[in-house]
Amino acid sequence: MEKSKLYMSLGMIMFFVIYFVPIWTVTLEAPQYPEPIGLNIWINKISDMNPNDLKNINLMNHYIGMDEIPEHIPEFDFLPLILGSMIILGFIFIYFNNKKLYAFWFILMTVLGMLGIYDFWLWGHEYGHNLDPNAAIKFVDEFGNPLAYQPPVIGKKTILNFVAISKPNIGAILIIIGMLMVSLSVYVKKGEKIFYNQKIKIKNKIIAARLSYTLLILPLMYSCSVNAQKVNYGEDLCYNCKMHIVDTQHAAQIITKKGKKFLFDSIECMLNEMSNMDLSKNKLYLANTYYGKETFFDVNNLTFLISKKIPSPMGGNLTAFKNLDDAHNIMKDMGGENYNWKEIKKKYNIIQ
């Protein structure tokens, strides 16, 4: 194998391993914590550095008015797809074994990395500056302006009596090694002698056409989706009524544009909570169905039945069905009235 191909292949292997290790770590040191608490940021999740660290950090943030840090944000849905697409593209370029293609991959990955760092800074800025004005504890500077609590992207920063440290983890080191391997492939390829004849030139034209097609369809691989949060039935509490969620036919949840998720033991609890929310901040409303059990579906695609013979946890007798046929089949035996999502919202006086 040519050295340029070898280095490029090693680079792609480094990026593949990123799926299995944390990329970044943010820790908080304070006198009240004998050991630092912190978070590990992976390509598809946020996890505790120590047990219950995320919970403890969210408790502290609550008192100063910061939003809760979720375990899952929208970026985690498409970042693995982007990385996977870049790895596939890298192996396609290895097949073509062209210096310009290796250089193009390096530049593209550099741009994506810079965008990722900017997105990380943006999230930190939003959580550190967008504070609840009604928070239990408020800190101001010497001019009376509210303090911000944004952690550094990298390095150390003192926030009140905490020292926030943001630093690369194994994944970030692998990214650096991978990028070095790709840059080596570009350098080595420059010195490799390749002999062309007329047939090779014709073949390269065909390859270029195929490559153009590949680059055209690549953006399709970046499509992202918002996943429903898995419910621990019998353990998780309803956000509205604070009762345990046990019914797999009536559970519901709301996903905000920031990726925060609210769980409910019934559709009527979700509707009651919606009447007190700014709905413009929400992205998706999901519900279990009569036959779907633990699977959640977008409420806009469902039909709803109110029947006293199908009791729901909070007495609304409201059940979702995947389609009209399912609802009508049940209505034959159970009776009731059929509604769509718009009509249900109107019935619960939700006009936003």
Mean pLDDT over all residues of the chain? 84
- The one-character DSSP state at 314 is T
Kindly report, residue by residue over 270-294, the tens digit of the pLDDT: 999 999 888 989 999 999 999 877 7
Please state the rounded mean pLDDT for residues 335-340.
93
Residue 147 has pLDDT above 70, yes or no: no
Distance separating alpha carbons of residues 284 and 286, to the nearest angstrom: 6
- The dihedral over CA atoms of 297, 299, 300, 302, expressed in degrees to the nearest 10, equals 80
Model confidence pLDDT, tens digit, residues 232-261: 989 999 999 999 999 889 999 999 988 889
Mean pLDDT to the nearest integer, 34-57: 88
Contact predicate 226/285, CB 8 Å = no
Q: How many CA atoms, within 13 angstroms, populate the side-chain half-sphere of residue 100?
A: 2
Please, which pLDDT band fits residue 106 given cuts at 50, 70 and 90?
very high
- Helix or strand run (H / E) with residue 25: strand 24-29
